[in-house]
Amino acid sequence: MDILVWLIPISLFLGGIGLVGFIWTVKTDQYDDPDGASQRILSDQWDDHPKP
């Protein structure tokens, strides 16, 4: 059962990373245009180099 001492903090930490990531996406307006986001991946405009 000693393994729990490691496993529980690790699982909480990993979940926490996911949560922080989600909060970051909300704060940076990434859910403002879900339809647009699903279409933009089809655009080849920034395929060669990222948007400056």
Measured distance CA(27)–CA(38) in Å, rounded: 19
Contact with another protein (CB under 8 A) among 6, 43, 48, 49 = 43
15 binds another protein (CB under 8 A): yes
Contact with another protein (CB under 8 A) among 6, 31, 49, 50 = 31
Residues in contact with 30: Cβ distance below 8 Å, sequence separation at least 6, in sequence order: 37
Chain centroid to CA 30: how far?
10
Q: Which residues of the shown chain bind another protein in the complex (CB under 8 A)?
A: 1, 4, 8, 11-12, 15-16, 18-19, 22-23, 26-27, 31-36, 39-43, 45
